[in-house]
Structure 1
C-alpha cells in the first residue's frame, strides 16, 4: 500500500506520483503546508516509494541458469533466489518501511546531547523512527519534546549539512535514487547556504524532498531551487474518518472535532487525547486575573502573578500552543458574532467561552486582542522573557477590554 501513513490528500499523492510514472521527476521538491496536513508522512512515504523502485526492470527476474541448464552454480551449490520485489511488500521495500534503507536519508531538527556537542540527525535516528511510528502527524514541538528539548530550541546544524553532502556524494547501494527527506528546513538558518550548490547541481539520480510548515522562514535561495507543491489542509470528512478509525473516537466526537480543527489532524488528536492540557481552565484564570472588577489592586496582582508563574513554567512551545488556543477562541468568537451560533460548531466548553467573550468585548477589541496574541507568539519564538511578556500582555488585555485602549506599534 502506497502512502500508508497519509490521511486523505489523494490529489497531492497523485501529483507526486505522476512525474515518476512519466519519468519527469524533479530533483528537488518543497512540500508546503500547515501543521497537521500530513507533510511529514507525505514526504517520508513518497521517499520510501522512490527508493523501493528497482534499479532495473530486470531486478525481479528469475535466477539465471548455470552453463549446464540447472539451478546450481558451477560448483553445484544452489543459486540463491532474488530479493522479493517491492510489490511483495505492498509496493514498499521492507527496509524502507522501517526507515532503514541505505539510500533513504532523513534530516530533522536536533539538539546537542551535552555541551559542546555538534549533533547530526543520525545521532537521533532510533528516536526518530519510534517518533514517526507513534506520531506521524506530530509537530516539530512534539519531536523536540520527545528528545527532552524542554526550553531549548532545535536546529539543523552546519555539521548536519556537511553530513548530508558526504552521504549524497556516495553511490547508491541498491536503489536507483538516493533520497534525502528534510523535515522542517526552516530550522536550517544560514547553515542552509552550504547545501545550495548540492541542490542546484545534485549528483545523478538524487532526490531532495523538503517539507516545511513555514515557507517564509526557509532560505529564499533554497526555495528558488525547488519545485513547490502546496499541501492543503485535510477535509472535515478525512479528519472525522481518521479519528474514528485511528483513535477510536465516537462518531459524534469525531464530527465535532473535525469541524473545529480546520483540517489540522494533529490539533484534532490533541483535543481528543489531552483535552487541551486544560488550556481552557488556565485561560479562564488569566482573564479573571486580568479583568476582575471591584477587586483591590493587590488582590488582582496576586492572581496575575500566580498565572504568570504557572504559564512561565510551561516552556516556550507550550506557551505558544496556549496563545494559539486563545487566538483560535477569539477567531471563533468573531465568527459567532458574524454568522450566528448555528453556523459555528464548537465543543460545549469552547462555545460557552466564545459566547462569554462576545458579551464583554466588541469586534474592534477582539481584533486588537488577536493582534496582541500574534505579536506575543512572535516574541516567544525569539526567546522573549516569559514572565515579562505575560505580565505586559495581561496589562494590555485589561487596557483593551476595560479601558478600550488600542496599543499601536510604531
Structure 2
C-alpha cells in the first residue's frame, strides 16, 4: 500500500519518512489510533516504504543502514512514498513479500487446534483488500468466528521468534506487522528479548487502538506513534472520490463519523437521508406546528431502524457542537466561513433561539436518547419524551429532571 492510498494523516506520513531518512527509527514502533483512523493502512504503507527498492537504494549508491549509519538513499534523493512499481512494492502491496510478516488475532478452526496467523494468511490478504479500515469485529466475522474470541497465542509467539531469527530473503530488512497487540496475553513476554535486542535490520510495527490493554513490558519497549482521528474534510473527500456521494451527503456522513472512516462506510446505506431537513422538521413540530405535526414526525422516525435513529441523533449533536464553536469564534471567523451554507444558516438560527447552557442541556438529552436506543427502548415513547424535554429547554429555558 502506498502512503498516497492512506486517507489524510499528512503529518504522520512526513514524520515516518523523516525517521527513515534521518536515521531516527526505533526497532519497535507502536502505531496507536482509534478505530477507523487508519493505523493498519499506515503500517502497511510504512512497511512497503521500508522495503521499496528505490527507497533502499542500489548497493552501489546506498552507503548506509536504516538504523543509524547514514542516509538510506543516494545523496540529494528525497522519496516521500514507495515507488509502487518495483518488485518489492508489488509484492508488499498484496502481502506476499517474504520479509514482511503479519500477526493478528485468530481462532481455532476446530477444537484442540493451536492456531497461528499464517494459517489465516489467505483470509487476511482478502480482508485487507476489501476492508483495510475494518476493526477486530469485522475481522472475526470475516473468518466466521461468530461468538468466539480471537487471540494471539503462545504458538504464534513461537512462530514469530522462528521467522524473525531467519535471514532475509529479498530485502535488507525483516518486518513484523502485529495488528491488535491488545489480544496478546502474558505469553507475549516471550517476545520481550526479541523486541529489546532484535537481529540486525529487524523492525516491529505494532498497531493498536487501546494503549491500556497492551502488556506494559511490551509497551515500554516501543516508540509511540500516535495516529489522530481523521478530519471531517479528509473523510468527506474520500467519500466523494470513492463512493460517488454528493458534497452535501459526504459532509453529513463525515460530520457524524467522528473521525472514524469505518463508521462513515457503515453509514453509507443511509447516505441518501437529509438529516438537516429532518432536524428542521422536528424543531418546527416541537416549537411551532403543534401536536399533530409532532405525532406525525415521531411516527415516521419510529419506523426507522435503531442505527438510523442513532445516526440522526449524532448528526443533531454535531450541529450543536458547531453551534458552540460559532458562539466562541464568531460568525465571521475563517472557520465559520468554511461551513456548508445550509449548516451555517441553521446553526445561526439555533444560536438566536438558545444559549450555551441550553445547547449543553440538549446535547445531554440526545446522548441519553442514543444510549437508550442501543438498549432497545420503545422509539415512539422515547422520541415523545425527548420532544417534551426539548420543548421545555428551548421554550421555557429550563433544564428538565433526568428521566
State TM-score, norm by structure 2: 0.65
Alpha-carbon RMSD across the aligned residues, in angstroms, is: 4.1
Aligned match of 2:238: 242
Which of 192, 196, 217 is matched with 2:188 structurally?
192
Residues 186 and 88 of structure 1, relative CA distance in 2, 3 Å threshold: closer
Aligned match of 1:180: 176
Q: Is the 8 A contact 1:2 1:92 kept in 2?
A: no
Aligned match of 2:20: 20
Q: Does 1:33 align with 2:33?
A: yes
1:75-114 deviation per Cα after TM superposition (whole angstroms, max 9, x unaligned): xxxxxxxxxxx84706952211221011000111111111
Q: Does the residue aligned with 1:180 lie in a helix, a strand or coil? A: strand
Which of 109, 115, 121 is matched with 1:113 structurally?
109
Aligned match of 2:94: 98
Residues 335 and 169 of structure 1, relative CA distance in 2, 3 Å threshold: same
1:208-252 deviation per Cα after TM superposition (whole angstroms, max 9, x unaligned): 001111111111111110000111111222111111111122222
Equivalents in 1 of 2:271, 2:56: separation in Å? 51
Residues 180 and 151 of structure 1, relative CA distance in 2, 3 Å threshold: same
Equivalents in 2 of 1:47, 1:166: separation in Å? 20
Deviation at 1:331, TM superposition (A): 5.6
Aligned match of 1:69: none
Q: Any stretches of 5+ residues in structure 2 without a counterpart?
A: 62-81, 273-304, 351-357, 390-399
Q: Is the 8 A contact 2:133 2:261 kept in 1?
A: yes
Residues 274 and 256 of structure 1, relative CA distance in 2, 3 Å threshold: closer
1:339-396 deviation per Cα after TM superposition (whole angstroms, max 9, x unaligned): 7999999x99xx9xxx9xxx9x9569749949x959xx9xxxxxxxxxxxx599x9xx
1:23-46 deviation per Cα after TM superposition (whole angstroms, max 9, x unaligned): 232100001111111111000111
Equivalents in 2 of 1:331, 1:259: separation in Å? 10
Residues 116 and 60 of structure 1, relative CA distance in 2, 3 Å threshold: farther
Q: Does 1:252 align with 2:248?
A: yes
Q: Is the 8 A contact 2:103 2:117 kept in 1?
A: yes
Q: Is the 8 A contact 1:334 1:366 kept in 2?
A: no
Equivalents in 2 of 1:187, 1:327: separation in Å? 33
Aligned match of 2:119: 123
Which of 160, 167, 170 is matched with 2:166 structurally?
170
Equivalents in 2 of 1:185, 1:53: separation in Å? 29
Deviation at 1:191, TM superposition (A): 2.2
Aligned match of 2:51: 51
Equivalents in 1 of 2:30, 2:218: separation in Å? 9
Residues 274 and 170 of structure 1, relative CA distance in 2, 3 Å threshold: farther
Aligned match of 1:8: 8
Aligned match of 2:284: none
Q: Does 1:137 align with 2:133?
A: yes
Q: Does the residue aligned with 2:167 lie in a helix, a strand or coil? A: coil
Aligned match of 1:203: 199
Equivalents in 2 of 1:247, 1:217: separation in Å? 34
Q: Is the 8 A contact 1:144 1:154 kept in 2?
A: yes
Count of equivalent residues: 313
Residues 328 and 225 of structure 1, relative CA distance in 2, 3 Å threshold: farther
Q: Does the residue aligned with 2:3 lie in a helix, a strand or coil? A: coil
Aligned match of 1:265: 261
Equivalents in 2 of 1:187, 1:208: separation in Å? 16
Equivalents in 1 of 2:54, 2:319: separation in Å? 54
1:52-72 deviation per Cα after TM superposition (whole angstroms, max 9, x unaligned): 2479744589xxxxxxxxxxx
Q: Does the residue aligned with 1:89 lie in a helix, a strand or coil? A: coil
State TM-score, norm by structure 1: 0.64
